[in-house]
Amino acid sequence: MIFIKFIFSKAFLKQIIFSLIIIVCLTFFTLKWLKSYTNHGITIEVPDLVGLSLNDANKILQKNKLVYKIQDSTNYNPKFKAGAIIEHEPMAGFKVKENRKIYLILNPMDYKKIPFPDVIRKTFRQAKPSLESLGFKIGDTIYKDDLGKNEVIEVRFKNKKIFPSDLIRKTSVIDIVLGNGKLSSNSE
């Protein structure tokens, strides 16, 4: 009975109202502080950095109050200069906060050499996809007298014969010498 009387007393109701006012005020000031601390509603649009050098991109990012971090890049893209940015995350146009890290992927300065596969005496139809999947580009196809029609007789890079396991740079343009299916006139 005394407890129920205490709950409906003026002193208890004053304490409850006073507590609610303090909670509302603390919540209000905490939300205001969080809004200013996190720069709520203030964003920066990520600029397009693809194709730029690291120095040029750094200037643009500093001007926009953004920072960058370079991620490992092993994929060479011949459309861009060595050391140029080939992609970044977040992409251009995204809205981000100040001091956000932009992850840059650079075109390698010196793309790696890989061992050339053995495609001799394979058909062009078999050799082409395996060469392209390794990153080589097919240049000229030259036909010579040989019984193996459309079979690879030799492979050349800059007019020099390539042998299996020779180290050749990815994206190199190679020429393929194929047989035309005819017996050479020298062997008659």
Q: Evaluate if residue 4 carries a pLDDT over 90.
A: no
What's the pLDDT at 15? 92
For 115-143, the pLDDT digits (tens) are: 999 999 999 999 999 999 888 899 999 99
For 83-114, the pLDDT digits (tens) are: 889 999 999 999 998 889 999 998 887 667 88
What's the pLDDT at 188? 47
Q: 185: pLDDT confidence band, cut at 50, 70 and 90? A: low
Q: Taking a C-beta distance cutoff of 8 angstroms, is the pair 93, 45 a contact?
A: yes
Query: Is the pTM of the predicted complex or chain greater than 0.85?
Result: no
